[in-house]
Amino acid sequence: MAWGLLILAGLLEIIGVIGIKRVAENNNWPNNLILIGGFVISFNLLTAAMKTIDLSTAYAVWTGIGTVGAAIVGILLYRESKSPLRLFCIAGVVCCVLALKLMG
């Protein structure tokens, strides 16, 4: 159950990051609600997951999901670079997060 909460927390971190981008483009209430809501719920789920998952593993997995998710959102929605080196680095983050999950 804790791993499910942690994964959901990471996905909601991505929502918070999308909110940051949207606020940067258009600072209005709906965009601020996406930003604040995404991060508040994400932090609460991360806190719950840390009751049984080690801090170092939980935080690394949470930030890894957010980092990879934000990079993918940037590529898909905001036309950011999809250079082979960037994709290789994203894959490296995924491999490291999976390794932490297997060890934790």
Burial of 90-104, coded b for 16+ CB within 10 Å and e otherwise, reads: beebeeebeebbeee
Report how many domains make up the chain: 1
The CA R_g of the chain, rounded to the nearest whole Å, is 14
Domain that holds residue 50: 2-103
pLDDT top residue among 28 and 104: 28
- Extract the tokens encoding 35: 């930003």
Q: Where are the alpha helices (DSSP H) in 1-104?
A: 2-25, 29-49, 55-78, 84-103
**Confidence band of 38 (pLDDT split at 50, 70, 90):** very high
Q: Which residue in the block uniquely carries the two structure tokens 């209005």?
A: 28
49-79 confidence digits (pLDDT tens): 999 999 989 999 999 999 999 999 999 999 9
